[in-house]
C-alpha cells in the first residue's frame, strides 16, 4: 500500500501510537427528505495528529465534522471526547468555518476575541489574548480593521486566530482554504504545518483536494458517498520537520496522491 | 408551529383570528366589531347587491386602467433608466423620492386638476404604482449579467433583439416583483383616491356605511377589498414563481 | 502581506470626492430641469389651477413668513412622532419575537401580511367612531399604516440571519441570549432599519390621510383651506413642503444609521 521508505513524522506528543482524543461510534445521519448522509461511521482520532476527512461531494465529510463539533445531532451513534460522550459544542473543540463566519460589524480584534467574550472573560484580558494570536497569525496592525477591508486569506487567518484563542484541544477545520485563491492556499497549507509544530493541537480537517489532504495530514480517511461510509484509512508517512516546501516533490507524497485518486475516481459519475 | 407533531400552515392562523373576532363580536365588547359570522353573511349579501356590483365595476375599471398605464409607462421607464446612464442620473433621484413620498398628499393636486371623477382615480392609481414598477424594472435590467449581453452582441444581435430576446427575459423576475408590489400600491391608490373623492365607487359605499353605522356591511366591504388585494398580489406571485426557476442561475 | 484595496471603482480619497461631486452635479441639474419645466408649465398655463414654480415658491415664502407653515408642522408632527415612536418600539419588538419564535410567527405572520398588502386607509374613517377627532385618532392612523411594514421587516430580518454566524456562535457555546443579542440583532439591524424608514414614510401617509379625512389640522388643514379659497400656489406649496420634509427625514434617518451603527460602512 504505502511506499517502503519510512520517514516517520516525529510524534507530536509522547509515545506512539497516541490515544484517541475523539472517537465516533456508529454515527448515522439522515436529512429531512430522506437523504442519508452518513451510515455506520466508526472512527478514532489520535491526539496530536492531523486527520483529514476526504471524499467527493455528498460523502458527508462536512456533516461528520459538524456532528463531531456538536453543531448537528446524529440520528444514531455517539461522539466521545476523551472517553466521555458529548452532545453539543464544548470548550475542548473549536471550529474553523469555510466561509470564515466573521461578524462584519466587528473589528478584527473583537472577532478574534469572540469565543472568549462568550465565555465571559473580562475585556482587557481577552483583548490581550486576542492580540497574541493576531500576531501569531501575522495580522499585527490590523486589529482595528473590519472584515470587509481584508482579503479572503486574511479573513481566514482571523477565523483561525479565533479558534486558537479559546485554547481548545481539537481544531475542526471545514475546507478552510477552499475560499481563497490557489497561491494563498498553498501558503496556508505550509503555514498550517508550521503552526502545528508550535501549537500542539489535534486537528480534524475536511477537504476535497487530494493534494491538500496528503500534504497536511498524518492520516487520511476516505469516505465513500451516498451514504457516507469509511472506505479506507491511509497513513501518510512523510517527513515534515523542516522542509514543508520539499514535500510536494517527494515520491511518497506523489504516490499517495495517485493512489487516493485511483480510489476516488470510481465515485465520480 | 407544530401541534401534536403536525405542522400547521401559517395562513391557518387567520382562522384562529376569525374565531377571536367572532368571540369579541358576540360578547359585544366593541360596537364597531360585529360577530364574524354576521360579517360573512353580509359579504354574501353584498356580492349580489346591485349597489356593490356597480361600485365594484367603477373601482375595478379605474384600477385596471391605472395599472395598465403604470405598467406601460413604468417598465419602459425602468428600461431606459437601467440602460442609459444619463436618464438614470436625471430621473433616478425623482423616482426614488416618489417611491417613498407621502403620495396621498399629492391627491388633492390631482383632484383640482382632473376633477372629481374617474380620471382622478385612474391618475391616483398610476401615481401610486408606477414608481416601484420603474424602480424594480431598472434593478432587473442592471443586474443582467454583462456576459449575457456580450454573448448576444457577439452573435450579432441588434438593439431591438437585445431588448426583446434577452433583457426583458433576464429582468423578468424583478419586473414581475415590481408589478406585484405595484398592484398592492395600486389598490391602496384606488382606495385612497376614492376615499378622498368620496363620491365614486367604493369610497362612496364606505362613506355610506360608516355614516349609517352599518358595520356588518362596512367590514364585509373591507374584507372583500382586502381579499382582492391579497389575491391579486398572490396571482402575480404565482406567475413570478414560475419565472423564478431561472433567477438563480442567470449569468 | 497585502491588504486588498476597496472595490475596484474606488481610486483613493481624491477619486471618491470626485465621484461625489459628480453625483451632486447631476442632481442639481435634474432639480433645475424639473423646476424649469414646472415654471414653463405654469406659465402656459396647463390649467388655471396649476401655478408655476416661482409662484409656488412665493406662496411657500409667504406661509413661512406669516408663521402658518410652522404652526401647521407643529400640529402635524405631534401625532406623527408619537405614532412613529410607538410603531417602532412595538413593531420591532413584535417582529423580532416573531422571528425568534415559531409559535409567535404562526399567530402573527398572516395577520401582518394581510395588513401590509391591504389598503389600511379604508379603515381610517372608522377610527373617528372610537376615538373621535383628536390626537389619539391621528396617532392610531399613523400606527395602523406604519406598524405592518416595521413588523414584517423586523421579522424577515431575524428569520434570515446568516446561518453561518449562528453556527459559529454555537460552536463557541454561546447561550441563546448571547446569540440573540450579539449575533441576531446586529445582523438583522440593517433590514430592521429599512423597515423603520419605510414605517416613517408610511407614517407620513397616515398623518396626511388622517388630516384630510378625519379633521383638518396641521398640514392637512393648510392644504384643505387653501384649496377651498383657491389659493393654489399656497396649496401646492404646502404639499411640496410635506413631500420634501418626508424625503429629508427618511434620508436623514439613513445617514444617522450609517453614522451611528455602521462603522464598517464609514470606513469607505
pLDDT of residue C4: 43
pLDDT of residue C200: 94
pLDDT of residue C11: 59
Residues 194-233 of C with CB under 8 A from B: 197-198, 201, 204-205, 208-209, 212-213, 219, 223-224, 227, 232
Residues 22-81 of C with CB under 8 A from B: 23, 26-27, 29-31, 33-34, 46-47, 49-50
Instruction: Of C232, C253, C226, C186, give the one whose Cα is nearest residue C68.
Output: C226
Burial class (CB within 10 angstroms; exposed 0-12, middle 13-18, buried 19+) of C135: middle
Instruction: Of A4, A10, A2, A7, give the one whose Cα is nearest residue A193.
Output: A10
- DSSP readout, C132-195? TTSHHHHHHHHHHHHHHHHHHHHHHHHHT--HHHHHHHHHTT--HHHIIIIIIHHHHHHHHHHH
pLDDT of residue B29: 76
* Nearest-neighbour CA in chain C from B163: distance (Å): 27
C247/B196 touch (CB, cutoff 8 Å), yes or no: no
Sequence-distant (6+) residues with CB within 8 A of C106 are: B1, B8, B10, B12, B13
C266 pLDDT band, cuts 50/70/90, is low
Which residue in A66, A117, A154 is closest to C1 by CB distance?
Answer: A154
pLDDT of residue B134: 96
pLDDT digits (tens, 9 = 90+) for C86-105: 999 999 999 999 999 988 99
A150/C3 touch (CB, cutoff 8 Å), yes or no: yes
Beta bridge partners of A81: A22, A84
pLDDT of residue A231: 84
B113/C197 touch (CB, cutoff 8 Å), yes or no: no
pLDDT of residue B4: 64
Residue B44 has pLDDT above 60, yes or no: yes
User: In chain C, whose CA is at the least distance from the CA of B107?
Assistant: C239
Residue C6 has pLDDT above 70, yes or no: no
Residues from chain C that touch B112, judged by Cβ atoms under 8 A, are 49, 227, 232, 235
Do B and A have ≥3 inter-chain CB pairs under 8 A? no
Q: Which residue has the higher pLDDT, A18 or C77?
A: C77
B249 pLDDT band, cuts 50/70/90, is low
CA dihedral B102, B103, B104, B105 (to 10 degrees): 80
pLDDT of residue B251: 46
Q: Check if A151 contacts C (Cβ < 8 Å).
A: yes
Q: Which residue has the higher pLDDT, A95 or A238?
A: A95
Q: Check if C126 contacts B (Cβ < 8 Å).
A: yes
Q: Which of A103, A155, A180 to probe by mutation at the C interface, max C CB count within 10 Å? A: A103
pLDDT of residue C171: 94
Residues from chain C that touch B91, judged by Cβ atoms under 8 A, are 30
Residue C180 has pLDDT above 70, yes or no: yes
Which residue in C173, C175, C264 is closest to A105 by CB distance?
Answer: C264
pLDDT of residue C159: 93
B94/C201 touch (CB, cutoff 8 Å), yes or no: no
C114/B109 touch (CB, cutoff 8 Å), yes or no: no
Instruction: Of B96, B103, B74, give the one whose Cα is nearest residue C27.
Output: B96
Residue A268 has pLDDT above 80, yes or no: no
b/e for B224-249, b at 16 or more Cβ within 10 A? bbbebbbebbeebbeebeebeeebee
Residue A9 has pLDDT above 70, yes or no: no
Could you give the percent of chain A with pLDDT greater than 70?
A: 90
- DSSP readout, B181-232? HHHHHHHHHHHHHHHHH-SSHHHHHHHHHHHTT-HHHHHHHHHHHHHHHHHH
* Nearest-neighbour CA in chain C from A146: distance (Å): 6
Provide ipTM, 2 decimals.
Answer: 0.83
What is the Cα B158 distance to its own chain's centre? 35
- Whether the CB-CB separation of A22 and A205 falls below 8 Å is answered with no
pLDDT digits (tens, 9 = 90+) for B8-33: 677 788 888 999 999 988 887 777 78
pLDDT of residue A56: 84
Q: Which residue has the higher pLDDT, C129 or A175?
A: A175
Sign of CA dihedral A167, A169, A172, A176: positive
> What does the alpha-carbon distance between residue B233 and residue B235 come to, in Å, rounded to a whole number?
5
Across B179-192, average pLDDT: 91
Which residue in B13, B102, B230 is closest to C208 by CB distance?
Answer: B102
Q: Which residue has the higher pLDDT, A17 or A241?
A: A17
pLDDT digits (tens, 9 = 90+) for C222-265: 888 888 888 888 899 999 999 999 989 998 998 888 888 777 66
**Residue ranges in chain B assigned as alpha helix (H):** 13-27, 36-48, 50-83, 85-100, 107-114, 118-142, 146-154, 159-161, 168-170, 172-197, 201-211, 215-244
pLDDT digits (tens, 9 = 90+) for B210-240: 778 888 888 888 888 888 888 888 888 888 8
Instruction: Of C120, C133, C131, C146, give the one whose Cα is nearest residue C214.
Output: C133
Across A194-214, average pLDDT: 91
Residue C146 has pLDDT above 50, yes or no: yes
pLDDT digits (tens, 9 = 90+) for A56-106: 877 889 999 999 999 999 999 999 999 899 998 999 999 999 999 999 889
pLDDT of residue C160: 93
- DSSP readout, C29-98? HHHHHHHHHHHHHHHTTS-TT---HHHHHHHHHHHHHTTHHHHHHHHHHHHHHHHHHHHHHHHHHHHHHH
Which residue in C125, C197, C235 is closest to B210 by CB distance?
Answer: C125
Q: Which of A70, A107, A114 to probe by mutation at the C interface, max C CB count within 10 Å? A: A114
Do C and A have ≥3 inter-chain CB pairs under 8 A? yes
Across A235-240, average pLDDT: 73
Residue C27 has pLDDT above 90, yes or no: no
* Nearest-neighbour CA in chain C from A15: distance (Å): 31
A89/C178 touch (CB, cutoff 8 Å), yes or no: no
Q: Which residue has the higher pLDDT, C212 or A142?
A: A142
User: In chain C, whose CA is at the least distance from the CA of A108?
Assistant: C264
Across C3-30, average pLDDT: 67
Residues from chain C that touch B109, judged by Cβ atoms under 8 A, are 235-236, 239
C172/A69 touch (CB, cutoff 8 Å), yes or no: no
* Nearest-neighbour CA in chain A from C103: distance (Å): 21
Domains of chain B: 1-33 (no CATH), 34-246 (1.10.3720.10)
Residues from chain A that touch C176, judged by Cβ atoms under 8 A, are none
Q: Which residue has the higher pLDDT, C46 or A143?
A: A143
- Whether the CB-CB separation of C122 and B195 falls below 8 Å is answered with yes
Residue A158 has pLDDT above 90, yes or no: yes
pLDDT digits (tens, 9 = 90+) for B76-111: 999 999 999 889 988 888 898 898 889 999 998 898
Helices (H) and strands (E) in chain A, counts: 8, 10
pLDDT of residue A11: 43
> What does the alpha-carbon distance between residue A217 and residue A215 come to, in Å, rounded to a whole number?
6
Which residue in C50, C114, C130 is closest to B113 by CB distance?
Answer: C50
> What does the alpha-carbon distance between residue A200 and residue A202 come to, in Å, rounded to a whole number?
7
- Whether the CB-CB separation of A48 and A18 falls below 8 Å is answered with yes
What is the average pLDDT score of chain B? Answer: 86
> What does the alpha-carbon distance between residue B175 and residue A127 come to, in Å, rounded to a whole number?
49
Across B178-183, average pLDDT: 92
Across A201-220, average pLDDT: 92
> What does the alpha-carbon distance between residue B158 and residue A111 come to, in Å, rounded to a whole number?
52
Amino acid at each position: 500500500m504505502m511506499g517502503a521508505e519510512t520517514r516517520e513524522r516525529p510524534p507530536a506528543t509522547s509515545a506512539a501510537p497516541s490515544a484517541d482524543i475523539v472517537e465516533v461510534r456508529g454515527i448515522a445521519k439522515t436529512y429531512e427528505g430522506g437523504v442519508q448522509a452518513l451510515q455506520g461511521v466508526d472512527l478514532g482520532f489520535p491526539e496530536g495528529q492531523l486527520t483529514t476527512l476526504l471524499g467527493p461531494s455528498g460523502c458527508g465529510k462536512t456533516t461528520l465534522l459538524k456532528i463531531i463539533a456538536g453543531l448537528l445531532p446524529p440520528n444514531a451513534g455517539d461522539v466521545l471526547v476523551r472517553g466521555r460522550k458529548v452532545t453539543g459544542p464544548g470548550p475542548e473543540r473549536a471550529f474553523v468555518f469555510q466561509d470564515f463566519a466573521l461578524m462584519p460589524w466587528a473589528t478584527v480584534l473583537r472577532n478574534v476575541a469572540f469565543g472568549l467574550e462568550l465565555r465571559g472573560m473580562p475585556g482587557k484580558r481577552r483583548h490581550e489574548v486576542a492580540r497574541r494570536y493576531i500576531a501569531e497569525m501575522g495580522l499585527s496592525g490590523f486589529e482595528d480593521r473590519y472584515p470587509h477591508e481584508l482579503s479572503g486569506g486574511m479573513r481566514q487567518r482571523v477565523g483561525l486566530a479565533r479558534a486558537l484563542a479559546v485554547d481548545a484541544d481539537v481544531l475542526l477545520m471545514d475546507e478552510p482554504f477552499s475560499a481563497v485563491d490557489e497561491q494563498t492556499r498553498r501558503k496556508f497549507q505550509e503555514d498550517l504545518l508550521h503552526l502545528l509544530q508550535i501549537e500542539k493541537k489535534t486537528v480534524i480537517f475536511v477537504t476535497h483536494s487530494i493534494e491538500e489532504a496528503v500534504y497536511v495530514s498524518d492520516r487520511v480517511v476516505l469516505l465513500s458517498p451516498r451514504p457516507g461510509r469509511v472506505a479506507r484509512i491511509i497513513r501518510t508517512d512523510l517527513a515534515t520537520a523542516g522542509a514543508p516546501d520539499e514535500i510536494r516533490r517527494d515520491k511518497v507524497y506523489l504516490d499517495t496522491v495517485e493512489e487516493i485518486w485511483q480510489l476516488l475516481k470510481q465515485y465520480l459519475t | 408551529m407544530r401541534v401534536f407533531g403536525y405542522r400547521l400552515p401559517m395562513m391557518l392562523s387567520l382562522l384562529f383570528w376569525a374565531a377571536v373576532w367572532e368571540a369579541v363580536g358576540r360578547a359585544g365588547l366593541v360596537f364597531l366589531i360585529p360577530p364574524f359570522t354576521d360579517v360573512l353573511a353580509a359579504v354574501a349579501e353584498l356580492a349580489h347587491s346591485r349597489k356593490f356590483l356597480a361600485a365594484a365595476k367603477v373601482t375595478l375599471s379605474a384600477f385596471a386602467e391605472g395599472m395598465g398605464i403604470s405598467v406601460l409607462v413604468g417598465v419602459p421607464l425602468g428600461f431606459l433608466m437601467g440602460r442609459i446612464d444619463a436618464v438614470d442620473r436625471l430621473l433616478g433621484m425623482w423616482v426614488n423620492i416618489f417611491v417613498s413620498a407621502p403620495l396621498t398628499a399629492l391627491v388633492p393636486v390631482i383632484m383640482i386638476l382632473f376633477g372629481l371623477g374617474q380620471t382622478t382615480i385612474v391618475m391616483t392609481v398610476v401615481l401610486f404604482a408606477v414608481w416601484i414598477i420603474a424602480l424594480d424594472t431598472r434593478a432587473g435590467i442592471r443586474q443582467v449579467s454583462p456576459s449575457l449581453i456580450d454573448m448576444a452582441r457577439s452573435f450579432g444581435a441588434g438593439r431591438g433583439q437585445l431588448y426583446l430576446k434577452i433583457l426583458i427575459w433576464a429582468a423578468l423576475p424583478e419586473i414581475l416583483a415590481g408589478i406585484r408590489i405595484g398592484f398592492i400600491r395600486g389598490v391602496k391608490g384606488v382606495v385612497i383616491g376614492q376615499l378622498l373623492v368620496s363620491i365614486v365607487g367604493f369610497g362612496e359605499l364606505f362613506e355610506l356605511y360608516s355614516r349609517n353605522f352599518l358595520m356588518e356591511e362596512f367590514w364585509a366591504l373591507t374584507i372583500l377589498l382586502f381579499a382582492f388585494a391579497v389575491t391579486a398580489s398572490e396571482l402575480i406571485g404565482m406567475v413570478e414563481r414560475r419565472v423564478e426557476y431561472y433567477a438563480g442561475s442567470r449569468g | 502581506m497585502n491588504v486588498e484595496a476597496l472595490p475596484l471603482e474606488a481610486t483613493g480619497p481624491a477619486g471618491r470626492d470626485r465621484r461625489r461631486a459628480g453625483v451632486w452635479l447631476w442632481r442639481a441639474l435634474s432639480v433645475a430641469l424639473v423646476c424649469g419645466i414646472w415654471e414653463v408649465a405654469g406659465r402656459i398655463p396647463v390649467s388655471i389651477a396649476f401655478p408655476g414654480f416661482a409662484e409656488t415658491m412665493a406662496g411657500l415664502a409667504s406661509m413661512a413668513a406669516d408663521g402658518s407653515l410652522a404652526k401647521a408642522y407643529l400640529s402635524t408632527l405631534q401625532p406623527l412622532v408619537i405614532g412613529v415612536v410607538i410603531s417602532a418600539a412595538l413593531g420591532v419588538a413584535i417582529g423580532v419575537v416573531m422571528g425568534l419564535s415559531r409559535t409567535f410567527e404562526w399567530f402573527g405572520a398572516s395577520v401582518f401580511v394581510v395588513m401590509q398588502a391591504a389598503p389600511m386607509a379604508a379603515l381610517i374613517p372608522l377610527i373617528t367612531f372610537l376615538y373621535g377627532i383628536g390626537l389619539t385618532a391621528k396617532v392610531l392612523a399613523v400606527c395602523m399604516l406604519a406598524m405592518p411594514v416595521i413588523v414584517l421587516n423586523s421579522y424577515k430580518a431575524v428569520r434570515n440571519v446568516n446561518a453561518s454566524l449562528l453556527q459559529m456562535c454555537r460552536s463557541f457555546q454561546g447561550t441563546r441570549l448571547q446569540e440573540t443579542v450579539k449575533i441576531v440583532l446586529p445582523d438583522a439591524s440593517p433590514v430592521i432599519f429599512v423597515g423603520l424608514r419605510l414605517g416613517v414614510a408610511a407614517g407620513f401617509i397616515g398623518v396626511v390621510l388622517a388630516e384630510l379625512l378625519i379633521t383638518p389640522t396641521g398640514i392637512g388643514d393648510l392644504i384643505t383651506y387653501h384649496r377651498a379659497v383657491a389659493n393654489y400656489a399656497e396649496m401646492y406649496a404646502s404639499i411640496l413642503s410635506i413631500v420634501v420634509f418626508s424625503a429629508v427625514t427618511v434620508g436623514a434617518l439613513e445617514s444617522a444609521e450609517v453614522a451611528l451603527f455602521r462603522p464598517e460602512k464609514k470606513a469607505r
